Chain A
Amino acid sequence: MDTSIALLTIFVLSAFVGYQVISRVPPLLHTPLMSATNAISAISVVGALVTAGGEYGTVSTILGFIAVASAMTNVVGGFLITDRILKMFKKGPDRR
């Protein structure tokens, strides 16, 4: 029970921080915001890694393997595409 409350505390505080931080992102950057948070939440790869490498039996290993691959797609793809988008945003005089 104690750990559950501790985890819940983290959840609630993260929700407040998230709301505050995200509300300040201008509409100009809403697409990169979405691909960035998507990449960040692919941190679920850490759960998948333990599932895939823990030798908990064939089922877990297979599920873990697919989970690692899907999460990793978002980690790598998400950050790369966010950077690709952000690189295009240029202010007036710096253009060309």
Chain B
Amino acid sequence: MTSSAFIQWAYLIASVLFILGLKDLNSARTARRGMFLAEIGMALAIAGTLLDHEIVSYRWIIGGMAVGSAIGIGIALWTPMTAMPQRTALSHAFGALAVTLVGISEYHRHGSELGSIKMTAIGFEVMMGALTVTGSLMAFAKLQELITGSHTYRGQNISNIGLFSALLGLWLYLIAAPTAGPLFYLLVGLSLVFGILLVLPIGAADMPVVISLLNSYAGLAAAATGFVISNEILIIAGTLDGASGFVLSILMCKAMNRSMTNVLFGGFGAAVSAPSSADQVYGGRVKSASAEEIAMLFENARRVVVVPGYGMAVSQAQHAVRDLADQLESRGIEVEFAIHPVAGRMPGHMNVLLAEAEIPYDKLKEMDEINPTFEQTDVVIVIGANDVVNPVARTDPSSPIAGMPILNVDKARTVVVVKRSLSPGFAGIPNPLFAADNTLMFFADGKKAILDLIAALKAA
């Protein structure tokens, strides 16, 4: 078998293994096996490529692989689970950087002889790649809180649309005249700027959508590379990545009842007509309780549901929450966890944190599954979540979160909200749940509150 035939076979087998691997992710039981298959596929594809007769020197290859592996191992071993969103944003940047550089090198080598078809692919590759590099780094900076808040300025959308049109124009021009070298590098440069401007105005709580979108872009850029260098496996793997980012961003948008355009260009607050003021909503009706008072609620409880939000991640309370659940279960109380799709900073964020705290995954319930059960729930503990449990989404059509699917915790017999203050969530609106008759506020840091509650339970 010649080496090029071997490479083709290796790519074919690797593609099959990638798809089988992703298929196994449909259940937590088979997921690890699936990833093992995908790893074999990757090893095969890399080994096959190393036999490529175009490769004449291995010095830089070995160096690059060593450096990359070392960084990869470091990141994989030392990233705390609470920092998974940042890690993911960073990895989108790495992936996009690789394809952008390959694209630039291809243009550098073949610029003068590229046809329009190849130029279409290269242009798309470096445009998507470059904007994903800087966009992902921005997302990383926001998640790491190096940059806080959402930065909006007047004329932002217009300038972004202008920049985007300029990129499209450059791309089309290059397709017609692929030899216009300086314009190619201008396209790369402007795409880098566009990535920054695109993510700059988006707030941290919209990051689940942004991360998913960047995931999709990184995949599509990789697929475009496949067109450039006529490599089928790059197209297949890149497209799988693109599809996953696309599916996730749609799911995240649905979970907030917002369109993609609104997330990217709107921002919360723009459409608010007359938000009811915090005083009107809370005025004298908020009841706060101590750990001892809350512990007494559990005396006759049969079913408790915990609703985690980003606040749980911030105060690293997941292990304390597990201890609380154990304590309650030892008293014969049924404990389940209600996970809103956009709780946290990336898709599935809460599940990972709770799994890290060794909470069995069959207790982690999706919104649609757990919502009908709140009426039979004695106590709900909301920890670090706000907008996703705001009943205004159901009742007030003029609210910025109107129509957003929420966890109907207000239907439970008693709701305990662990929160440091009455400050609003990301949507910037007061939450009538905090003033409801069946709600008790427990004002404290998430982790400390849960630890106090455990102590009170043990003392009772």
CB proximity of B85 to chain A, nearest CB, Å: 9
Chain A positions within 8 Å of B218 at CB level: 38, 41
Indicate if B408 sits at the interface (CB-CB under 8 A): no
The closest CB in chain A to the CB of B65 belongs to A72
The closest CB in chain B to the CB of A8 belongs to B227
CB proximity of A73 to chain B, nearest CB, Å: 4
Indicate if B297 sits at the interface (CB-CB under 8 A): no
Cβ contact within 8 Å between B108 and A59: yes
Cβ contact within 8 Å between B19 and A21: yes
Type the 1/0 row for B58-94, where 1 means its CB is closer than 8 Å to any CB of A. 1011011101110111111101010010011001101
CA–CA, A94 to B214, complex, Å?
36
Cβ contact within 8 Å between B229 and A50: yes
Cβ contact within 8 Å between A51 and B105: yes
Q: For the complex, count residues of B whose C-beta is within 8 A of A.
A: 112
CA–CA, A64 to B62, complex, Å?
12
| 8 Å CB contact of A17 from B19, B58, B360, B361 | B19
Type the 1/0 row for B1-45, where 1 means its CB is closer than 8 Å to any CB of A. 000000000000010001101110111110110010011011001
Indicate if B177 sits at the interface (CB-CB under 8 A): no
Chain A positions within 8 Å of B246 at CB level: 19
A-facing residues in B360-378 (Cβ within 8 Å): 360-364, 366
Cβ contact within 8 Å between B222 and A38: no
Indicate if B157 sits at the interface (CB-CB under 8 A): no
The closest CB in chain B to the CB of A35 belongs to B88
Chain B positions within 8 Å of A50 at CB level: 49, 52, 54-55, 229
Type the 1/0 row for B193-228, where 1 means its CB is closer than 8 Å to any CB of A. 000000000000000000110010011001101111
Cβ contact within 8 Å between B95 and A74: yes
Cβ contact within 8 Å between B64 and A89: no
B-facing residues in A13-56 (Cβ within 8 Å): 14-15, 17-19, 21-56
Q: For the complex, count residues of A whose C-beta is within 8 A of B.
A: 84
| 8 Å CB contact of B32 from A4, A21, A87 | A87
Cβ contact within 8 Å between B105 and A56: yes
| 8 Å CB contact of A48 from B23, B98, B233 | B98
Cβ contact within 8 Å between A54 and B234: no
Q: Taking A69-B64, A87-B32 as contacts, is the C-beta distance between A53 and B55 under 8 angstroms?
A: yes
CA–CA, A81 to B340, complex, Å?
23
The closest CB in chain B to the CB of A84 belongs to B76
The closest CB in chain A to the CB of B110 belongs to A56
CA–CA, A61 to B76, complex, Å?
27
Indicate if B114 sits at the interface (CB-CB under 8 A): no
CA–CA, A28 to B76, complex, Å?
20
The closest CB in chain A to the CB of B58 belongs to A53
Cβ contact within 8 Å between A34 and B244: yes
Cβ contact within 8 Å between A59 and B105: yes
Cβ contact within 8 Å between B243 and A52: no
CA–CA, A77 to B79, complex, Å?
10
Cβ contact within 8 Å between A45 and B98: yes
Chain A positions within 8 Å of B55 at CB level: 49-50, 53-54
Q: Taking A30-B347, A57-B109 as contacts, is the C-beta distance between A44 and B98 under 8 angstroms?
A: yes
Cβ contact within 8 Å between B102 and A47: yes
| 8 Å CB contact of A64 from B42, B60, B73, B238 | B60
Indicate if B355 sits at the interface (CB-CB under 8 A): yes
Q: Taking A14-B235, A46-B231, A49-B49 as contacts, is the C-beta distance between A34 and B215 under 8 angstroms?
A: yes
Instruction: List 4 extra interface pairs beyond A73-B68, A82-B35, CB under 8 A.
Output: A18-B243, A41-B237, A53-B60, A77-B73
Interface residues of B (CB under 8 A from A): 14, 18-19, 21-23, 25-29, 31-32, 35, 38-39, 41-42, 45-46, 49-50, 52, 54-58, 60-61, 63-65, 67-69, 71-77, 79, 81, 84, 87-88, 91-92, 94-95, 97-99, 101-102, 104-106, 108-109, 117, 211-212, 215, 218-219, 222-223, 225-248, 251, 339, 341, 346-349, 351-352, 355-356, 358, 360-364, 366
Interface residues of A (CB under 8 A from B): 1, 3-4, 7, 10-11, 14-15, 17-19, 21-57, 59-61, 63-92, 94-96
A-B contact pairs, 12 of them (CB 8 A): A14-B223, A14-B240, A19-B243, A44-B225, A46-B46, A47-B99, A56-B105, A57-B109, A68-B60, A74-B98, A76-B73, A91-B29
